[in-house]
Structure 1
Amino acid sequence: MSVSIATTSLTMSSREIAELMGKAHRNVVRDIEKMLNVIGKDVLNFEHIYHDSYGRDQKEYRLPKNLTINLVAGYRPDLRLKIIDRWLELEQQAQPRVPTTLSEALRLAAEKAERVELLEPKAAALDAISQSQDDLGVRDAGRELGIGQTRLARLLIERRWACREGSRSKLKAAHYGLSNGYVRFVTRCYTDPHTGEDRLSDVMVLTRKGLTRMAETVAKEGIPA
């Protein structure tokens, strides 16, 4: 009898990276956002919310191994080694348990069956959460559609998916776009450049449904970049 326990994808949080590097978390967050923008990754796909010691929602990023190593490539060698050693430790801990006796195999099988039973009621909720990973900001959506951020912003306003309160104000989701599920708000944390304080802000993103609908519109009408 052969029994192994499957593991989820390993990630390392920006808070753990900051602790290992001896850096302020906000500086690591800044480095991560800069890196993700340079390599064309949507930061929202790696963003998570945690509660600080005061119970407030705060932002962190969780990176897979390749992006973690890429992030610290420019750091000092001794700091990079700390990250590499930590990843080796995480990977070793995540190795599947292989039973060596029949009783151990039966015990592992029972544990696995119990976990499956507990997780099944949550399957629908997990599916809904995974869909949000496809949401894209206006810049990344414009790049994926091949029409650019500025042109996409105009289309969003023309089709009443979004609006601006002033000529230079931030793009906001409009009722029509929200009610049809084309756009939605996500809360992001940012550092005020004037005060250095962490603040929360609502940011509009396109859902996968909205991105698909907009792609159909661009293709049908032949909208130029």
Structure 2
Amino acid sequence: MNDLVVLKNRQPVTTSLQVAINFDKDHKHVLEVIQDKIQSAENPADYLKMFERGTYRDSRGRGQKMYYLTRDGFAFIAMGFTGQKADKFKLQYISAFNEMEDSLKSQFNIPTTLPEALRLAANQAEQIESMKPKAIFADAVASSDTSISIADMAKILHQNGIDIGEKRFFKYLRDNRYLISGIHRSDKNRPQQRYIEQGIFEIKESSYQSPNGNVHTNITTKVTGKGQQYFVKKFLKHNNQLTFV
């Protein structure tokens, strides 16, 4: 079972965060669409059954708003997304909802004996644990205006089950030409220009004055909100194929 659909209170749901990532939308935009649906309804209670408000922690540990979407809630939102890529993800979501519902039908039968009840409880615990998004996937989808260090990006990947640390992530970025490499280059570890233009990285500059009066400039490579989404999706998709030395 992939992480498009998860189990919450014995009901298959997805999240506004997952919808934003998979349909390549800004999470703020998805939230606005949901809130407009609720506010424009003659009976908002009908929509509140489809969209349950929740929270997640972003990469800075701040509480942020999100929504859990039932199958019907997802259908309302996805209807507004068009194009071949959007249709592909709609089909994947439909398949994921069907798979989850079939699994629930087979897993949550009412037990008639104590041994059956104990087995059911154990199976449910294992099922629910396996269906949780990896290490709060939401940590990796901070607002698009929130940039983090490469070290923090490595921590997020590690939290999502990727066996990688800061040094190996730096090496991966250099080996795969995301960052400039070269022992004697003054711009080592700065992002390649094309990835800055794509919005995956940005450069932060800061200045300080040394005791002798000289002014120095520090340049730090940051991973943008879009970049965080990009790397988590990439690593989770190819986790079984990627190796790190």
TM over 0.5, yes or no? no
Higher helix share: 1
TM-score tier, shorter chain, comes to 0.3 to 0.5
TM-score (norm 2): 0.36
